Amino acid sequence: MSGPIVVVGGGLAAGKAVAQLRDSGYDGELVVLTAEDHPPYERPPLSKDLLLGEAGPDDTLVQEQGWYAAHDVDLRTGTRVTGLDLAAREVVVGDERIGYDRLLLATGARPRPFAPADDSGAPVAYLRTLEDAARIKEQLTEGRRIAVVGAGWIGLEVASSARQNGAEVVVLESAAQPLLGVLGDEVAAVFAELHRSHGVDLRLGTEVTGVRATDDGGVVELASGDPVPFDLLVVGIGVEPVVELAEAAGLQVDDGVLVDASLRTSDPHVWAAGDVANAEHPVLGRRLRVEHWDTASRHGETAARSLLGESVQHDELPYFFTDQYDLGMEYVGHPGPEGFDRVVVRGDTDGLVFTAWWLRGREVVAGMQVNDWDATDEVRRLVGTEVDPDRLADDQVALADV
């Protein structure tokens, strides 16, 4: 190689890629550029362990800070990349140009903005960085009023952490159930009941018409006319991939940076991984951009091996987990644009020990276990296969025999 490998990003995909490069025997020059003032770190703890006070910032690091120097990695924190010159194979950082032989973009995603809140002057927070988590954590104390816009995974995890810290919580969601598009009515209702049983004021089918500042915080205005006062408003309405660098450089972009199954972009010297990568999935037969921990981790490792010339593909099915109160869950699969036409639930939803299965015809397109850890292997085995739906729905038939 005539130049170094350069990694742009500071999340899990970047951290895993760098470690895999060294583990795979690459001993050449390796540069990591991240705009944040921290080494690459993982984001799931931000809405869970950090908000609960069960972990500190150092616990989120992919590798401890000293690892980079020990492995001869040029880690540059607080370094914002301002451009890419694909023809010259250079990364632009202000007035500096850093040459590369191969480049990995792991620029991640940013929270989707919510203009009524952003323009209000009221105390508003998004959760994406360590600094975001620290700011929110300061407010999660006994009796503080936390309003959350959005009952997706982040919104519900923040609500769970807030309630466990003694804060008062109102969650505002426009859909008829939390996570309705992902889970379907029956399973979504389980999550709704879970939060209500822990004291969350969960308001569904709610339209936010405005946000205004007050002397002691702010107020969310609703179409129903029932305003919600708050000390802090947390917005969790999804994320969008950070593609500006790639797009300006001329890489193919469409809901993320377009990559093949080996995570190579339209430029043969550039790869993309993690939340920003819209990748061809050889098993699902379509493109997929996934915003979860497991994909970022596996993307980082796959991209590193691909950078080094190995013939590898990212072909694992998407995997996601969450922890909310006493509910732990693992989800595998991706129904895709065709969705699902039936949900099968086995077990005790009231007792929060069950499995759920999303089917399209006879095909299991996704599966989930809730507090049923012995079922994890069966969930992974059955997703992507065809089953007899009636046998799957029969609790008397063991999953191994479906």
pLDDT digit string, tens, across residues 21-77: 999 999 999 999 999 999 999 999 999 999 999 999 999 999 999 999 999 999 999
Interval 274-321: pLDDT, tens? 999 999 999 999 999 999 999 999 999 999 999 999 999 999 999 999
Q: How far, in whole angstroms, is CA 392 from its chain's centroid?
A: 30
* Domain 113-235 annotated CATH 3.50.50.60: yes
Q: Which pLDDT score, from 0 to 100, does residue 22 have?
A: 97
Task: Indicate if 326-401 has the same CATH topology as 5-110+239-307.
Answer: no
Compute the average pLDDT of residues 340-345. Answer: 95
User: CA angle 20-23-28, nearest 5°?
Assistant: 90
- The class that CATH gives domain 5-110+239-307 is alpha beta
Give the residue extent of every domain in the chain: 5-110+239-307, 113-235, 326-401
User: What is the reported pTM?
Assistant: 0.95
What's the pLDDT at 1? 52
The mean pLDDT of 344-372, rounded to a whole number, is 97
Q: Domain 326-401 in CATH: superfamily?
A: FAD/NAD-linked reductase, C-terminal dimerisation domain (3.30.390.30)
3-class DSSP assignment, residue 93:
strand
Please state, in angstroms and rounded to a whole number, the distance separating the CA atoms of residues 370 and 329.
4
Q: Which two tokens stand for residue 138?
A: 């300061």
Between 225 and 105, where is the model more confident?
A: 105
pLDDT at residue 3, as a whole number: 76
Instruction: Answer whether residue 394 shows pLDDT above 80.
Output: yes
CA distance 402 to 399: 5
Return the SS3 of 381.
helix
